[in-house]
A and B are shown apart, each in its own frame.
Chain A
Amino acid sequence: MRYALAYPLTAALALSASAAFPQDLITRDRVGPADAPNVMTFRLTAFDLYSSDDATREFFEEKFLALMADYPDWRIETQLQTDNIGQEQARMLEQVRAGRGPDCAMIDSSQLGLFKAAGVLSPMNAHFTQAQIDDLFPFVRDGVSDAEGNVLAWWWFTSLQVLYRDTSLVPDAPATWDDLQAAALTTVEAGREGVLFNGGRWEGTAFDWLPNFWAQGGELVDADGRPVFNEGDNRDKMLAAINFYKDLVDSGAAPSRVTTIINYDEFNAAAAAGTAGLFIGGNWQYGQLRGTLPEDQFANWELSELPGPTADQRATGTGGWTIGAFSDDPTAVEICARMAYEIYATEGNAFQGLLPTSASIYDAYDTFEGPEYDAFAEALVNGVARPGVAIYPEISNQLQILLGDVLSGTATPEEALDAAAAAVDAAFERL
């Protein structure tokens, strides 16, 4: 009644997208019967059950209903999580510590370490076969396991950075930093913007730049999780990677506006406007380009592994999301684990075209047969995950500041690096 008064127009027009399903079994914030005696909460991102794309939402609704048919006296209450990852995870941590966290939640892979360290995740071992666990890519298995070999979360898809290029100007994939600079300058001569990359104040900047450090074997933290990126060899590797970006901007191979880029969509826009020659972006952008560019223009775009200091030294950063359980209830943990594997890691990935985290899943679905997936698989061999430690977000923050200061000419690489290391050390002391 109140609802109808508040929003008569909607009430009149209302055409529920989930009308195909029994109304009482699935709603915007619930899966399962409304009067089910057992409740578990699930905090998820807006990409599947909350998707604004009808087909995507219906696909996931169907999968969830099928799974919950096995648990007739349970219902899931869904809670939305916004795309501000840092703020979101801090909130969740605070809630979990107050005993008010969700029973099951999606956790960004870069933040998983935080929850592992806080000791709040319930082991899920019992719900996966050893074969399923062994099949995970090594960096994924390490990421989700604790020292005792417990599986604390399921990393259900991954992502990586690649170099996109317009092959009408750059026919061959640049393999080294020098190749990239030369190729970018060629595109500048042709009236393009050169190479674009994230350089503003956001996680993407640090994450997309770090492969240049990792490719040289650099390490952000030591085995105990202490920041060491400004010590010994690491310092030289840092400086080399910083200077690589600095040279790109100084030589005009990259425009100075890279320090303003805080969104991957900028690259799509530049590609569509015909001003981009090369850009460092995420694997998921290939599909976006296909949907945005006219066919003949799209045909020019190809992707390749990120260049390294030498052709043999390559790396790419792996991201993606995990699902973990905070509940003590064995059934809730079981539902959580089954959702992670049966809905998301397998069929969900195939439906959405996200990169699975184990080889057998790639083989199991036709989706992953395109040539771009071969390139992704090749690059994934050199995949490096961000360290799963609580200090990582601050390291990232300081790297963003460092790159911004260096690329805008506010500080020299050495000054900026020392300042970043000092700030990270101070923050580490306080953790």
Chain B
Amino acid sequence: MTPRIGDMLTYLAGIVLAALFLMPLLWLVSLSLRTPAEVYLGAARFIPEAPTLDNFRLILTDRAFGTYLWNAVKLCALGALGAVAVATPAAYAASRFTFRGKGPLMVGILMVQMISPLVVIIPLYRYLDRLGLLESHASVIAVYMAIGVPLSVWLIKVGFDAIPAALEEAAAIDGCNRAEILLRITLPLAAPALASAFILNMIMGWSQFLVPFILLTRDGQLPIAVAIYNFAGSSSASTTQLLAAACLVAVVPALAAFLALQRLIVRAIMAGAVKG
């Protein structure tokens, strides 16, 4: 098979996959462009007869929308950053050292991943209430960190595993100590894994509903995933169209963060490849 044909097939598969993933999104776009009257047509009409950008205008000019987005960015980014920061040393140790109890410890950390927010949310609420930490962003960030840590430890460990120990040994011969090696050699090489872990955490936080819903109540504290119901409207006029527009706008910051970091991952890999 020539590369040419391979390229054609790649394009073909790419287009099919993109179409399959895009179709549902286009329905959301269709909803977001409708007037209230056309929303009730539901699946009966795909292309709105009287498309309007009013829904987007309404949301983008609502000052509170910015606050909700900012809350979400803050909670997710700090939660993700915290998770990666605490997970990195553990992942490094798990990748490089052999010691008694390592297997059970790593499995134990993974077990924590199995605790879904649904299962612990009520006890967590009561626990944070006793500590007086409810209704604060700090406690939500701490919970996001805890939710993200197991995944981060494992993903970053896989990243460290892929870096040849020979590189570190060479540095050790040159007189670098463990911390210097980690900071100067290993971490930069592990940047793709760190960035992937960060992205995954960030986005998983972005779609968290239950945790902020239960732990926060003040309107000004809410992240967009909860506050989106602010646009769910009234019983006398369905506001699905606003909800759809709000959902689409809410996607943008998460996508932007992803694309920015994606570039970082690719660049880091390129740098690694040149050295290797």
> Which residues of A come within 8 Å of B, CB atoms?
2-3, 6-7, 9-11, 13-17, 28-29, 41, 43, 46-48, 50-53, 56, 77-80, 82-83, 87, 91, 94-95, 98, 100, 102, 265-266, 268-270, 272-273, 284, 287-288, 291-292, 352-354
Contact = CB atoms under 8 A, between A and B. Distances in A.
B61 A50 contact: no
Contacts, number: 135
A14 B236 CA distance: 27
B129 A7 contact: no
A382 B227 CA distance: 38
B42 interface: yes
A17 B59 CA distance: 12
B48 interface: no
Nearest to B240: A265
Contacts of A41: 217
A46 B229 contact: yes
Contacts of A265: 39-40, 42, 238, 240
Contacts of B66: 3, 6-7, 10-11
B276 to A, nearest CB: 40
A353 B239 CA distance: 17
B27 interface: no
Given A7-B66, A98-B126, A268-B40, 12 more contacts: A17-B62, A28-B64, A53-B239, A77-B219, A80-B230, A82-B213, A82-B226, A265-B42, A265-B240, A284-B236, A291-B40, A353-B236
A101 to B, nearest CB: 9
B120 interface: no
Contact of A82 (B40, B220, B229): B229
Contacts of A46: 229-234
Interface string B35-79: 011011111100000000000001011111111011001000000
Given A272-B40, A353-B236, A98 B125 contact: yes
Interface residues of B, number: 47
A7 B42 contact: no
8 contacts: A41-B217, A46-B230, A77-B219, A79-B219, A80-B222, A265-B238, A269-B43, A270-B44
Interface string B6-38: 000000000000000000000000000000110
Contact of B219 (A13, A78, A352): A78
B237 A291 contact: yes
A28 B63 contact: yes
B122 interface: yes
B153 interface: no
Contacts of B44: 269-270, 272-273
